[in-house]
Amino acid sequence: MMGGINNWVTMIRFEQVSKIYPGGQKALTDVSFHLKRGEMAFLTGHSGAGKSTLLKLISVIERANGGRVAINGHDIAKVRPKDVPYLRRDIGMIFQNHHLLMDRSVFDNIALPLVIEGFALHEIKKRVLAALDMVGLYGKERHYPIMLSGGEQQRVGIARAIVNKPPLLLADEPTGNLDPKLSMDILRLFETFNDSGTTVLIATHDLGLIARMKYRTLTLKQGRVIGGDELAPSQVFHG
């Protein structure tokens, strides 16, 4: 059952994956791990250790040079470029710098994935307001991102990532610019999504934050998975 690269129990599966950027920089070397459906885990390591590259391989912003990557049952190598958008619709992505559209209202920013998927307006309204409520920004839908604080902008980004209820949530340094209290709030938010069945992978270098939470951790060092590799396929822990 676990042998297949794209079986349905696993949400993310890496098998001896390596990534070398044009120019010869080795970003990842021989990385193997998997994440089950409904799991929540952290990805840590110093900056430059390959965290962002790993997330980019999951969201097909980059493709691996060697090994296999399977996401949500799809072998990435077999996904044609024109089908990548459909794969990305199943992945909610949260970025350190939010990637919000500054000339659009909070509502329009969060509605974007739904508009792209072609939902009707009344459905879009319902879901956007629900997402805003979930991240605690209800009533701010008419604001523009520039009028919000850093923490609030981050939560708009989170609302956009979860508004179409993707089965997988990726976060790249979601607490990077926030104070400890706000960081904790954001992590609690991820926990609630995880409770409702969403698989969550959070890349962070904030080790103090991870220490306080009992979740599995994948540590990268110079592009390799290092000791305490709790995410290795041989040792699967649960929550």
Partner 1 sequence: MDKQPQLVRSKLPFTGRIVMFFIRHIQHAMGSMGELWRNPLSSLMTMAVLGVSLSLPAALQVLVKNAETITQSWNSAAEISLFIDEGRSERSIQSLITRIGAYPEVSAVNYINRDQALEEFQRLSGFGEAIAYLDDNPLPAVVTVTPDIKHASPNGARALLKKLELEPEVSFGRLDIEWLERLQAVVRLLERTVLAIALLLVLAVVLVIGNTIRLAIMNRRTEIEVMKLVGATESFIQRPFLYTGIWFGVIGGILAWIIINLLVWYLDGALADLLGLYGSTLTMQSLTLTELGQLVLLASFLGWLGSYLSVRQHLRAIEPT
Give contact residues for partner 1 (rule: CB under 8 A).
4-7, 59, 61, 73-75, 78-79, 82-83, 85-90, 93, 99-101, 112-113, 116-120, 160
Task: Tell the smallest beta-carbon distance from residue 91 to partner 1 (Å).
Answer: 8
Of 57 and 93, nearer to partner 1 (C-beta) is 93
C-alpha dihedral sign at 35, 14, 183, 209: positive
Of 111 and 225, nearer to partner 1 (C-beta) is 111
Q: Can you list the positions of beta strands (E) in the chain? A: 10-20, 26-36, 40-44, 66-71, 74-75, 91-94, 168-172, 199-203, 216-221, 224-225
Secondary structure (3-state) at 182:
helix
Number of CB atoms found within 10 A of residue 120's CB:
9
Task: Tell the smallest beta-carbon distance from residue 133 to partner 1 (Å).
Answer: 20
Task: Tell the smallest beta-carbon distance from residue 184 to partner 1 (Å).
Answer: 27
Of 80 and 212, nearer to partner 1 (C-beta) is 80
Of 89 and 188, nearer to partner 1 (C-beta) is 89
Task: Tell the smallest beta-carbon distance from residue 139 to partner 1 (Å).
Answer: 24
Tokens of 43: 């990805």
Task: Tell the smallest beta-carbon distance from residue 227 to partner 1 (Å).
Answer: 31
Residues near 144 by beta carbon (within 8 Å), at least 6 away in sequence: 102, 103, 104, 105, 106
C-alpha dihedral sign at 177, 179, 180, 181: negative
Of 87 and 129, nearer to partner 1 (C-beta) is 87
